[in-house]
A = this chain, B = another copy of it.
Amino acid sequence: MAQCEAKERKILVAVDEGEESMYALSWCLNNILVSQNSKDTLILLYAKATPPVYTALDGTGYLFSDDIVATMEKYNNEVAESVMQKANKLCKEVHNLDVKVETKVESGDARDVICQVAEKLDVNLVVMGSHGYGLIKRAFLGSVSNHCAQKVQCPVLIVKRPKSEAPSK
């Protein structure tokens, strides 16, 4: 059986707007990346909603005008930037962290984006929160983490936000 090398690993952490993905990143930083004395690369990945390049009918038959499309795209970009800032801040807060941090924003469905990037970059581990979709979308599509755990070839670490960390509301 081949031994897994703990050196020069590529670890992909899928981040999104939710607190759970930030908790997953934090768990990974504190339990996998710290004190390994390695040259790990941490890749922070955010899947951005696909920008509507052309004006298009939405599900209700409503036609988006160009300015609305532009506003949506601007909003998506701002969210992506905000998520990455938060994730980068978390990385900097961890002491003894000797990793190279890269950020990557890709457009598309999170399920596809995570699997594609994991395969393309040939990462050694994918880390993600257990949710990543709203309740209704999850009921139809299944959770992002279940999908990725099945599709991705490398090990997948699924982190749930502990109950004590959950918002009280």
Task: Show the binding face of A for B, using Cβ within 8 Å.
Answer: 1-6, 9, 19, 22-24, 26-27, 30-32, 34-37, 90, 124-125, 130, 143, 145-146, 149-150, 152-160, 162-165
Contacts and interface: CB of A to CB of B under 8 A. Distances in A.
Chain copies in the assembled complex: 2
Given A35-B6, A36-B35, A156 B158 contact: yes
Contacts of A143: 150
A6 B97 CA distance: 13
Contacts of A2: 162, 164-165
Nearest to A11: B31
Nearest to A3: B30
Contacts of A165: 1-2
